Amino acid sequence: MTKTSTGNFFEDFRIGALIQHATPRTLTVGDVALYNGLYGPRFAVQSSDVFAKAIGYPRAPIDDLLVFHVVFGRTVPDISINAVANLGYAGCRFLAPVYPGDTLNATSEVIGLKENSNRKTGLVFVRSTGFNPDGGKVLEYVRWVMVRKQNEDAPAPPDHVPRVPEALLPSMLGDACPAIDGAAYDTVLAGSPYRFDDYQVGERIDHVDGITVEEAEHQIATRLYQNPARIHFNLYAEAKGRFGRRLIYGGHVISLARTLTFNGFANAFHVAAINGGRHVAPIFAGDTVFAWSEVLGKAELPERNDVAALRLRTIATKNRPCDDFPHKIGGEDDPAVVLELDYWVLLPR
């Protein structure tokens, strides 16, 4: 019997199973620097210890999406190493700020299973949690993926399709954001005069810029997250595969889109929650990613006067500028759309 891990196939999952993922990870300023080199975010809070301290953080926190990718990376060997499609996220909440020196572990609970009618694959729903070794949660989210069966004849567990979380309520936001001193929040240094009150529901913003992705970049990023999904790294195998080339980790697109949103939402310094995310189409090296956003909602946070939340839908496209806000065509996704992300960001009042 080989000692090589093949990961879990669809028939290996059981409802209620709690999976402790391997490879705890201490995040450092080195990770932050490489993340910056890969995406180029310009939010002042994450960029400057001095700015962060002035408004109430002990130092610059680690970018929320870097935390997300690192927690996600831990889950891959157990959850999605045999996935054929990463279908969606929901109910993703950031629960505590993370700083250089902090260590992250991750677990996943299997909350749903449904075999597909072809009996070759099935849907797996998990609730994954990132936490400090002392047990403090920093992140949780629900994710569903389509996973291959190893043996088509293997009996499948009974179907159990969970209720996927709805958009998070404003009362569930803000745990990862300390009390902010809004007067000390310098909008000139942050790069935009627009605070929470300046945005309107329904407002659409084209983020203008485009970023072309290189193979080396997405490979370095995905390895930084210790995400070993083979489809991102192995040209020899993928040349014969579905796309004929390496697929880019969907989270890479999320981080590119988040970076692009700086131009329009420079004061949206914290991603508090992701209500739902959908990778509409794959991207490949050489593609140029653009994005635009719509303000879907606005909310005050209970007992907080320092920050408030915008609910955004950011659409990312490939090889198509977003000045006309591409989204749907006749009810179908515009073929240029690669990502649809519904999330809450916090801004100073």
Q: What residues between 31 and 60 interact with a copy of itself by CB under 8 A?
A: 31-34, 36-44, 47-51, 60
Instruction: Report in angstroms the alpha-carbon separations of 275 from 90, 133, 203, 262, 306.
Output: 5, 26, 19, 20, 22
| Alpha carbon of residue 314 to chain centroid | 12
Instruction: Kindly report the three-state secondary structure assignment for every residue of 239-253.
Output: CCCCCCCCCCCHHHH
Q: Which stretch binds a copy of itself (CB under 8 A): 109-117, 144-152, 164-172, 234-242?
A: 234-242
**In this complex, which beta carbon is closest to a copy of itself, that of residue 47 or of residue 86?**
47
150 binds a copy of itself per the rule CB under 8 A: no
Q: Per CB under 8 A, which region of 83-91, 119-127, 154-162, 196-204 contacts a copy of itself?
A: 196-204
Q: Which is nearer to a copy of itself, 141 or 290 (CB)?
A: 290
* Binding range to a copy of itself, per CB under 8 A, among 114-122, 142-150, 317-325, 326-334: 317-325
Three-class SS of residue 27? coil
Q: Which is nearer to a copy of itself, 106 or 126 (CB)?
A: 106
Buried b (16+ CB within 10 A) or exposed e, 28-50: eeebbebbbebbebebbbbbebe
Q: Which are the contacts of 249, defined by CB distance < 8 A and separation ≥ 6?
A: 218, 221, 222, 225, 227, 229, 232
Binding residues for a copy of itself, how many (CB under 8 A)?
Answer: 84
Per CB under 8 A, contacts with a copy of itself among 246-305 are: 246, 263-266, 286, 288, 290
Binding a copy of itself (rule: CB under 8 A), the pick from 18, 154, 189, 201 is 189
CA 232 to chain centre: 17
- Where in 74-133 is the site for a copy of itself (CB under 8 A)? 77, 101, 103, 105, 133
Could you give the angle at the alpha carbon of 155 between the alpha carbons of 154 and 157, nearest 5°? 130
Q: Would you count residue 216 as binding a copy of itself (CB under 8 A)?
A: yes
Q: Which stretch binds a copy of itself (CB under 8 A): 110-118, 120-128, 183-191, 325-333?
A: 183-191
Select 144 or 199, whichever has its Cβ closest to a copy of itself: 199
- CB 315, CB 253: distance < 8 Å: no
CB of 195 to a copy of itself, least distance (A): 11
What is the Cα–Cα distance from 195 to 189, expressed in whole angstroms? 13
Q: Which is nearer to a copy of itself, 26 or 171 (CB)?
A: 26
CB of 51 to a copy of itself, least distance (A): 5
C-alpha 38/C-alpha 217 separation (Å) is: 6
Site for a copy of itself in 65-84 (CB under 8 A): 77
Number of Cβ within 10 Å of residue 334's Cβ equals 16
Contact between 240 and a copy of itself (CB under 8 A)? no
- Site stretch for a copy of itself (CB under 8 A), options 113-121, 194-202, 308-316, 325-333: 194-202
